[in-house]
Amino acid sequence: MFNFAFDNLNSFFYMDGHGIYVWSVFFIVIISTSLMFIFYKNELRKIRKKIIDE
């Protein structure tokens, strides 16, 4: 029914030697997206506070 590309979890993480590149890019994207979300959330909070105080 399912045709998996990897036999076990180790081969999933290793990815025929390409795993270090794939997972490093994956984590860079996750970290940068999270930092952007936090930054813009704080900026919106500052703008809301500024509007309310006026």
How do residues 15-54 score in pLDDT, each as one tens digit?
889 999 999 999 999 999 999 999 999 999 999 999 999 8
Q: What local confidence, expressed as pLDDT, does residue 6 receive?
A: 82
N-terminal to C-terminal alpha carbon distance within the chain: 62
Q: Are 22 and 15 in contact (CB under 8 A)?
A: yes
pTM reported for the whole predicted model: 0.71
Question: What are φ and ψ of residue 34, in 5° steps?
Answer: -65, -40
At position 25, the amino acid (one-letter code) is V
Cα separation, 8 vs 10, whole angstroms:
6
Collapsed DSSP state (helix, strand, coil) of residue 47: helix
Q: What local confidence, expressed as pLDDT, does residue 4 receive?
A: 80
Q: What local confidence, expressed as pLDDT, does residue 7 receive?
A: 86
pLDDT above 80 for 1? no
**What's the DSSP call for residue 7?**
S
pLDDT above 80 for 2? no
